[in-house]
Amino acid sequence: MAFKNLGNAGELFPQSVFIVSSYAEDGTPNAMNVAWGGECERHSVCINIGDHKTTENIVAKGAFTVAPADAAHVAEADYFGIATGNKVNKAEASGMTFVPSEFVDAPVIEEFPLTMECKVTDIQGDAHGARIVGEIVNTRVSESILDEEGRVDFAKMRPIVYDSTRRIYRVVGEEVGGAWEAGKAFM
């Protein structure tokens, strides 16, 4: 097999399409698209965000919500990543329904079937760019994506991921093996 060295390209895949929602100090809801984020431990989310309206909001409010985008809302998810709340009201322009979280001072977008509601526990940086950790205080899920045992069923939800090599979104696909199970073939 032949290989090429791509230097520091960093093609770690998949990258998330997390829609991070927050309130401005005047109460205006906002949302942005975050690919550089993930669960950094079992009940915490880490997001790496630059100098954005969202960053200012989260630093001021100490809270945010994270909804993994689904295939049904690709256009809205992308819009949240190319328009800024510094210039437009993305909640109004997107037509999505922003409602207050019951648990933290941040909005939840009704159309997304899964949302983690987070309280900020650590900020490395400031309102102009930061690595922010949030403790998940509630996970809100639509019954439409639950299986018969009450578990989130990602096959029903069809989450999307960001493919940075082509700057496209891909839908998460089929099951190919059991975790903590497939490897037993070598034991």
Ligand X SMILES: Cc1cc2nc3c(=O)[nH]c(=O)nc-3n(C[C@H](O)[C@H](O)[C@H](O)COP(=O)(O)O)c2cc1C
CB distance 36 to 46 below 8 Å: no
The order of strands in the sheet holding 44-49 is: 29-34, 18-23, 63-68, 114-126, 129-141, 44-49, 37-41
Q: How far is the CB of 147 from ligand X (least distance, A)?
A: 29
Q: Which of 52, 51, 94 is nearest to 73 (CA)?
A: 94
Q: How far is the CB of 31 from ligand X (least distance, A)?
A: 7
Query: Pick from 45, 49, 96, 136: which binds ligand X (CB under 6 A)?
Result: 49
Q: How far is the CB of 162 from ligand X (least distance, A)?
A: 5
44 near ligand X (CB under 6 A) = no
Residue type, 9: A
Helix, strand, coil % in the chain, rounded to nearest 5: 20, 40, 40
108 near ligand X (CB under 6 A) = no
30 near ligand X (CB under 6 A) = yes
23 near ligand X (CB under 6 A) = no
Indicate the residue whose CB is closest to ligand X.
81
Query: Pick from 21, 54, 94, 115: which binds ligand X (CB under 6 A)?
Result: 54
Query: Pick from 19, 23, 45, 53: which binds ligand X (CB under 6 A)?
Result: 53
Query: Pick from 33, 65, 101, 115: which binds ligand X (CB under 6 A)?
Result: 33
- The DSSP secondary-structure symbol of 33 reads E
**Smaller CB distance to ligand X: residue 171 or 182?**
171
**Smaller CB distance to ligand X: residue 75 or 155?**
75
Q: How far is the CB of 87 from ligand X (least distance, A)?
A: 8
C-alpha separations of 178 from 66, 124, 149 in Å: 27, 36, 18
- The DSSP secondary-structure symbol of 102 reads S
50 near ligand X (CB under 6 A) = yes
- The Cα 117–Cα 107 span in angstroms is 9
CB distance 136 to 67 below 8 Å: no
Interacting residues with ligand X (CB under 6 A): 30, 32-37, 48-50, 52-54, 78, 81-86, 162
